[in-house]
Amino acid sequence: MTIKAQEFDRLVEKWGLRTRKTGDLHAWFEHDGKVITRTRRSMGSGDLPMQHSIRQQLKLNDEQMRAAIDCSLTRSGYVEILRAKGLIDPPP
């Protein structure tokens, strides 16, 4: 699958990822005050050359990544995926 820069940015905004611009755009997913996952994209527009690495860094499989890009995977859905992987503690 390909990811476009604007799709990445839309995902960042939808999930509320914290970002920092250096030479690239770095993005972190935080939950309950903890930094859980991170990824980055190169600056510029068009198709990103790093789809596989973005997916891997966000701890998603192909299907989940597609859902994230097409906006059907919500932030809470992503939290559940990370929780199932043991990357977020279960709710008290």
Task: Report the interface residues with another protein, using CB under 8 A.
Answer: 20, 22-24, 26, 28, 30-31, 33-38, 40, 42, 49-50, 52-53, 56-57, 59, 86-88
Which residue's CB is nearer to another protein, number 35 or number 71?
35
Q: CA–CA separation, 27 vs 38, rounded Å?
A: 6
- What residues contact residue 29 under an 8 Å CB cut-off, 6+ apart? 15, 17, 35, 36, 37, 38, 58, 78, 82
Which residue's CB is nearer to another protein, number 9 or number 30?
30
Which residue's CB is nearer to another protein, number 46 or number 72?
46
Structure-block tokens of residue 46:
């068009």
